[in-house]
């Protein structure tokens, strides 16, 4: 029994707009790569996948383009997604395993049956023996150490690159959920427009993301902070640098976080009275890359008048939680067999 993993190991997968994660217990760690593939249009060959492809964005000749096959947890380019997942599964799969792995996929409650089928087919064609879906909200809650398998009730808000998913979880399932098609990418595009209109400078998405990570903040004392960036002057067409101030990009944060606040309000209204006490005592739990934006906790607390908590590992807790759940289920089944 100790060598059963040779016949097929278990991997957990979190498909994200910005990043895709795979957790492999046998390789004792996570593989996290940007959800990007670079393609040569001259011969339609794959040039790079993941981090290497992302580093090429905005720096390639005309014949090479970078494609993002995942949007809001959905596959929008099947062939490119298959290439990306095949590459990642090969990295994660143990070299000693004889058969293809079983892949447990964390999936949002907002994904339709058609999109679920597309994900299932794509993962199977990419090298999985079989697949199983796990509610991403439950996985996130477990990854944050919350009692998601108990009858307590926890509200988890996942603020990703392409979507917001707010769910009330209890007893290993989703009691209520609200899915919104907006995410961190919207901040990037707003920053591009702000820099264009305010500073007469064209920047790419990578630079906008850099500004978002290093300068964006809800905290008043931080909006005087600045950052020097490079771009192309709109008027002259020449490259130049500019100093960007935090106060000018704060407005880019409001559409996303107002959507988060509205989604949380919807779930609070749907929370059964029996769970209200636990939710009010424990607060709301944030995960996803945009939960790291400076001051978002204070902003949401002010909007909702309820405690807001952030995951210690917002980028990886969903995949880690899914892995914990799978391992616990396997251990439980093994005990039953004995």
Q: What is the pLDDT of residues 242-271, one digit of tens each?
A: 999 999 999 999 999 999 999 999 999 999
Same-domain status, 170 and 218: no
Instruction: Please report, for residues 190, 202, 227, 228, 240, the alpha-carbon distance to residue 234 in angstroms, rounded to integers and kept in the order given.
Output: 17, 6, 19, 17, 10
Same-domain status, 128 and 227: no
Same-domain status, 226 and 275: no
Residue 87 is predicted with a pLDDT of 92
The pLDDT-based confidence of 27 (bands split at 50, 70, 90) is low
Average pLDDT, the chain: 91
* Residue 91 marked ligand-binding: no
Segment among 58-62, 154-158, 192-196, 231-235 with least mean pLDDT: 58-62
Helices (H) and strands (E) in the chain, counts: 11, 18
Same-domain status, 240 and 280: no
Question: How far does Cα 263 stand from its chain's mean position?
Answer: 17
The pLDDT-based confidence of 91 (bands split at 50, 70, 90) is confident
The pLDDT-based confidence of 1 (bands split at 50, 70, 90) is very low
* Residue 59 marked ligand-binding: no
Maximal C-alpha separation, the chain: 76
Q: What would the pLDDT profile of 184-199 be if each residue is shown by its tens digit?
A: 999 999 999 999 999 9
More confident residue, 315 or 332: 315
- If you average pLDDT over residues 54-74, what whole number do you get? 90
Residue 21: HSE in the Cβ half-sphere, 13 Å Cα cutoff: 22
146: which DSSP letter?
-
CATH of residue 212: 3.90.640.10
Residue 66 has pLDDT above 80, yes or no: yes
C-alpha–C-alpha distance, residues 191 and 96, integer Å: 47
Positive or negative torsion for Cα 135, 141, 144, 149? negative
- If you average pLDDT over residues 109-130, what whole number do you get? 93
* Residue 133 marked ligand-binding: no
Burial of 204 per CB tally in 10 Å (0-12, 13-18, 19+): middle
C-alpha–C-alpha distance, residues 321 and 74, integer Å: 21
The pLDDT-based confidence of 59 (bands split at 50, 70, 90) is confident
Instruction: Please report, for residues 138, 153, 276, 278, 306, the alpha-carbon distance to residue 281 in angstroms, rounded to integers and kept in the order given.
Output: 19, 11, 9, 5, 9
Same-domain status, 13 and 133: yes
Residue 329 is predicted with a pLDDT of 80
Same-domain status, 199 and 306: no
Same-domain status, 102 and 23: yes
For the chain, what is the domain count?
3
Same-domain status, 194 and 227: yes
* Residue 210 marked ligand-binding: yes
Residue 93 is predicted with a pLDDT of 74
Domain boundaries, position 277: 147-182+254-310
Residue 11 is predicted with a pLDDT of 92
C-alpha–C-alpha distance, residues 235 and 104, integer Å: 51
Same-domain status, 175 and 289: yes
The pLDDT-based confidence of 110 (bands split at 50, 70, 90) is confident
By residue count, the chain amounts to 338
Same-domain status, 53 and 117: yes
The residue to which tokens 């143990």 are assigned? 94
Same-domain status, 292 and 174: yes
Q: Facing residues of 130 across strands?
A: 102
Residue 28 is predicted with a pLDDT of 57
More confident residue, 8 or 194: 194
Q: Facing residues of 31 across strands?
A: 22
Last residue of a domain, one of 231, 253, 275: 253
Same-domain status, 91 and 168: no
Instruction: Please report, for residues 62, 122, 182, 283, 322, the alpha-carbon distance to residue 85 in angstroms, rounded to integers and kept in the order given.
Output: 25, 8, 24, 36, 18
In this structure, are residues 253 and 303 in contact, taking their beta carbons and an 8 Å threshold?
A: no
Q: What would the pLDDT profile of 162-179 be if each residue is shown by its tens digit?
A: 999 999 999 999 999 999
* Residue 163 marked ligand-binding: yes
Residue 164 is predicted with a pLDDT of 95
C-alpha–C-alpha distance, residues 128 and 24, integer Å: 13
- If you average pLDDT over residues 126-140, what whole number do you get? 94
């Amino acid at each position: 029994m100790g060598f059963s993993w040779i016949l097929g190991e278990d991997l957990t997968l979190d498909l994200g707009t910005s990043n895709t994660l795979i957790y492999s217990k046998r390789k004792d760690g996570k593989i996290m790569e940007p959800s990007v593939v670079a393609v040569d249009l001259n011969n339609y060959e794959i040039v790079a996948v993941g981090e290497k492809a992302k580093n090429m964005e905005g720096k390639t000749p005309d014949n090479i383009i970078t494609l993002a096959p995942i949007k809001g947890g959905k596959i929008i380019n099947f062939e490119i997604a298959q290439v990306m997942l095949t590459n990642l599964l090969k990295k994660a799969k143990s070299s000693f395993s004889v058969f293809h792995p079983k892949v447990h996929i964390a999936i949002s409650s907002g994904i339709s049956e058609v999109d679920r089928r597309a994900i299932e087919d794509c993962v199977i064609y990419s090298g999985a023996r079989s697949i199983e879906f796990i509610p991403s909200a439950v996985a996130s809650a477990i990854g944050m150490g919350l009692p998601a398998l108990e009858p307590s009730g926890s509200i988890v808000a996942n603020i990703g690159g392409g979507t917001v998913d707010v769910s009330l979880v209890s007893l290993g399932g989703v009691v209520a959920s609200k899915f919104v098609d907006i995410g961190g990418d919207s901040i990037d595009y707003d920053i591009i427009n702000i820099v264009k209109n305010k500073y007469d400078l064209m920047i790419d998405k990578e630079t906008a993301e850099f500004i978002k990570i290093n300068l964006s903040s809800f905290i008043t004392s931080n909006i005087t902070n600045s950052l020097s960036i490079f771009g192309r002057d709109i008027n002259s067409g020449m490259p130049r640098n500019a100093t960007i101030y935090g106060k000018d990009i704060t407005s880019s944060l409001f559409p996303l976080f107002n959507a988060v606040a509205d989604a949380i309000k919807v779930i609070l209204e749907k929370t059964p009275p029996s769970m209200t006490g636990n939710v009010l005592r424990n607060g709301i739990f944030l995960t996803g890359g945009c939960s790291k934006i400076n001051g978002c906790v204070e902003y949401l607390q002010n909007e909702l008048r309820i405690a807001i908590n952030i995951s210690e590992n917002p980028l990886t807790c969903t995949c880690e939680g899914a892995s914990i759940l799978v391992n616990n289920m396997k251990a439980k089944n093994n005990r039953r067999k004995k």
